[in-house]
Structure 1
Amino acid sequence: MFHAASSLVPSTRSSPNQNDQDDQHGHDDRRDRSRDRSAERAAPRPAAQRDAFFDNAKYLAIVLVAVGHSWEPFKGDSRVLQAAYMFVYSFHMPAFIVISGFFSRSFDGSPARLKRLITGVAVPYVVFETAYPVFRRYVDHNPAQEISLLDPWYLTWFLCALFVWRLTTPVWKLVRHPLPVALGLAMLATVTPAIGDDLDLQRVLQFLPFFVLGLCLRPEHFRLVRRRTVRIAAVPVFALALAFAYWAVPRMNVSWLYHRDSAQELGAPWWAGPVMQLALFGCSLVLTACFFSWVPGRTMWFTVLGAGTLYGYLLHGFLIKTADYRGWFENPALHRPLGEIAVSVAVAVAVTLLCTPPVRRVFRFVMEPKMEWVFKRDAAQLAREREKGARPEESGRRGTDEKVAGGVGA
């Protein structure tokens, strides 16, 4: 391209054949530009670049989720550990759900998005909702454990919720004030015990405001909470939250933080449900903002692990449940401060390893199956290929671009 540009520089000398030479150079320039445009169209487009901040946030949130699960067998031994447990549970899943909502903004119900939703969320749900009960039957020797796709067990509730939330994304884009509507639905769910356990709809509805909030956010909102003043303010906020959690341990039912029961099921008056829903949403929102303020925005050693957080989330449950079924958590040495710290570190290391690329490659056939044999070809794409005479490699490149545009999963 440089020689084409240089040919446009005027010459200070003239010759009898100057006009012929100019015409020839003009034709050469047009041919060169045409070749350049053709080469640009033929060259594969670069993959969408991932934002290190969000990958860092997802990794740190999933570590908190796994460590929180490891504290469950020990939290009754120490009020300090119970306070830490309540503190972590007040924002680790809200933070993860807000990010999931943020990356669901592009979901429009198109065939490409629906395919990715089925292969990336619905299929793993079916697989793990079947695998966990079978795992318990053989490891815990519990033949009474049934397989039910309507009753999410242990960790699989999030996949069920994510599927429902993402399907409803086009609806939330149409609503004038989506967040107040989502909060209203969550508050109504807390006074509706008749919802039952099918598809864990209590959690789907009570955590819904965090997903809708993520849909409403823009990149500049995350930049606001990452300012230095917010990071400094987050220190006393975290300290006050820990102190409040320590005070609330004997006074508050920790099940409120799970968002899986109505007020009546928790033995509280009906009006406590909406009040607690609003209060917990506000507290979780503040702590989530503080958490985001401390997430590094630059590339770290664990940034690459952010793409595999769903692997770590679903797979670490087998480790936790194995230790539980085999009675490993009953070891008295683990019920001391050093033992609890050792378990926390071990689980953090384990979930980190489960997010690594080698593990992702092994389990990709379950977590991200292509399943091209299931879906029909897009009629519009087929028409474009017939019209343009697209080559197979071009069609494959378009499919890859659609997958990248489909957004990042939770």
Structure 2
Amino acid sequence: MNIPLKINKYSLNTIGETYFLNIRFLLIVCVVAGNLLEPLIQQSIAAHHLFVWIFSFHMPLFVLVTGYFARFNLHGPAGSQMLRHIALQYVLFQSIYSVLDYTIFRVPHITHSFFAPYLLLWFLAGHIVWRLLLISLRMFTFKQQLIVSLVLGLSVGLLPVDGVWLALSRTLIYFPFFIVGYHLHVDKIISFFQHYRRSIAIGSIAFMILFFDLNLPLVIGWFYGNQTFVQLGVNSETGMLYRLCMYMLQCVASIGFLALVPIGAHYITELGRRTLYVFLLHGLLVRAIETTGILHRFNTPLEIVILLVFAILVAVLLAQPQVKHWTSRLVEPSIPQPLYSMIHYVQRHTLFQKQS
């Protein structure tokens, strides 16, 4: 049975959780699809356009959704426990992916270091920083936090360091979306999409078609968000202007995607509770497939559609409860008791105490 869409104080949290779980699963499908399409963007126009479309919204929205769910466990013991678990996941999977890449995958231009997150693992490193930054800005109003985050996002490209180190570039570029997600009013956004869903979806699709039709000479690195202005080949003023334009493009594309997401309970709602498993495990499958070279045989529109269907199947299968049962000790490892005792003082640190 679908959750009723009439919003009241008793159903608001349930409706919000349902809607954002739906968003989260559809986004993880896009993540899987994007990683499968990436090797083809130089040889297939269809793959390139789909890849750019996905990258115009999937990371901003994923960060926004992460910010939304962070409101429930940002402060206090729950907040410090979450930070420990994210850090442990990062260390564990950074080790796994690095060893496999060094021995099997051999992805070009990869730096093997705990200070250079392996591909998609930048999100875990970023998640830690977003939480710490938001806690440090807790005395500021939402508008002040947003202004600070935008200044950081616009200016990070000026730093004279490679953007991949500590995932600093992506982390600061996407920080504004984390802020927005944390403060988002669920009732307002759901009411907004209930009234204007169709017109927003049509308008966003038309905008993206126009964007692709203009064939702007935009370097794909702007969508990755992991490069400095120097690496992107622009000066400081042009770089900040381009980044501001990217923010506007991402907002339009994100709103258009949100208009397509079902608000009420759906089959995908429960799958949305286990997207962490899809996120951390699908990369192993994608890299294994890529080493066979089979992905480069996909060129025609029909073959691209087949690849998208495969991405959906991968996301659905990895989000099954059986996968969680088999891999929970790997994906959600418990912290060893000696280590837990050593860092238990963090729970009492004022940084994690919610201000009254």
Give TM-score, length-normalised by structure 2: 0.85
Pairwise CA distance, 1:354: 0.7
1 CA distance for matches of 2:128 and 2:155?
21
Give distance in 2, aligned partners of 1:293 and 1:299: 16
1:33 corresponds in structure 2 to none
The alignment's C-alpha RMSD in Å is: 2.6
> What code does the residue aligned with 1:232 have?
S
What CA distance in whole angstroms lies between the structure 1 residues aligned with 2:54 and 2:105?
28
Aligned positions of 1:5-404 closer than 5 A: 51-119=17-85, 121-140=86-105, 147-176=112-141, 177-194=144-161, 196-248=163-215, 251-331=217-297, 334-371=298-335, 373=337, 374-376=339-341
Q: Is the CA contact (8 Å cut-off) linking 1:225 and 1:290 kept in structure 2?
A: no
| Pair 145,134 (structure 1): closer, same or farther in 2 beyond 3 Å | farther
1:156 is paired with a residue whose SS is: helix
Larger Rg belongs to: 1
Note the C-alpha offset of 1:94.
0.7
Question: Residues 46 and 304 of structure 2 are in contact (CA less than 8 Å); yes or no, is this contact kept in structure 1?
Answer: no
Distance 1:272 1:225, change over 3 A: farther
Return the structure number with greater helix share.
2
Distance in 2 (CA, whole Å) between partners of 1:143 and 1:349 is 28
CA deviations over 1:117-175 (Å, ceiling 9, x no partner): 212x1111111111112112332478997742111011100000001111222223322
Equivalents in 2 of 1:144, 1:72: separation in Å?
A: 15
Give the letter for the 1:264 counterpart.
V
**Deviation of the 1:328 alpha carbon:** 1.5
- The answer to whether the Cα contact below 8 Å between 2:200 and 2:255 also exists between their aligned partners in 1 is no
TM-score (norm 1): 0.74
Cα distance, 1:246 vs structure 2: 3.9
Q: Please, which runs of 5 or more residues in structure 1 have no aligned partner?
A: 1-47, 382-410
SS at match of 1:309: helix
For residues 266 and 88 of structure 2, what CA distance do their matches in structure 1 show?
31
The amino acid that maps onto 2:244 is L
Give 5+ residue unaligned stretches, structure 2.
1-12, 348-356
Q: Once structures 1 and 2 are overlaid, which stretch shifts more, 235-244 or 140-149?
A: 140-149
Aligned residues: 330
What percent identity do the matched residue pairs reach?
A: 27
| Alignment deviations for residues 43-75 of structure 1 (CA, whole Å, 9 cap, x no partner) | xxxxx9682211110000110111111111222
